Amino acid sequence: MAGLGTAFLALMWWRLSQFQEREENQLEFRHNANIPLGVSYFGKYYLYRDEKTVHAFSTTCTHAGCRIGKANAGFLQCSCHGSEFDAKTGKPVKGPAIKPLQELDCYFDKLSGQWVVKLHPIKNES
Ligand code: FES
């Protein structure tokens, strides 16, 4: 009986680790159309919705790679060394970071009626 319990626990642990690995490697996220105005924070990225559209930015600080925190009055702050970024543009307003946050590929999928965010930079048209 103890062996059966151990096998069950091992199976549950394996399934949980598989789920966590999928979450870590997920490169595409979908959101319903009713994203609120301003900043919505999702860990690896955040969305900024204005009157016209939605923008997605990475939350990886461009100074040394820390995850930046949630927005406060339209600005995102990195707790590692204090850089601040304008949530609307991703541009730094206070150092030591000098590069803007990476803008991510984000578009509205008319078929599903959802916003799609891909965790890779937007493509330049040059
Ligand atoms: S890693 Fe963000 S300010 Fe240094």
CA of 17 to the centre of ligand 1 (A): 30
Q: What is the mean pLDDT of residues 65-94?
A: 91
What are the helix and strand counts (H, E) for the chain?
1, 10
Q: What is the mean pLDDT of residues 48-62?
A: 94
Write down the pLDDT at residue 74.
86
Q: What is the mean pLDDT of residues 22-46?
A: 85
Indicate the class that CATH gives domain 27-121: mainly beta
Burial 24-51 (b: 16+ CB within 10 A, else e): eeeeebebeeeeeeebbeeebbbbbbee
Write down the pLDDT at residue 23.
56
The residues near 50 (Cβ < 8 Å, ≥ 6 apart) are: 37, 88
Mutate to test the pocket of ligand 1, among 75, 83, 85, 101 (most ligand atoms within 8 A of CB): 83
Write down the pLDDT at residue 8.
64
Residue with CA closest to ligand 1 atom 3: 81
CA of 97 to the centre of ligand 1 (A): 6
CA of 52 to the centre of ligand 1 (A): 31
CA of 67 to the centre of ligand 1 (A): 8
Q: Where are the domains of the chain?
A: 27-121
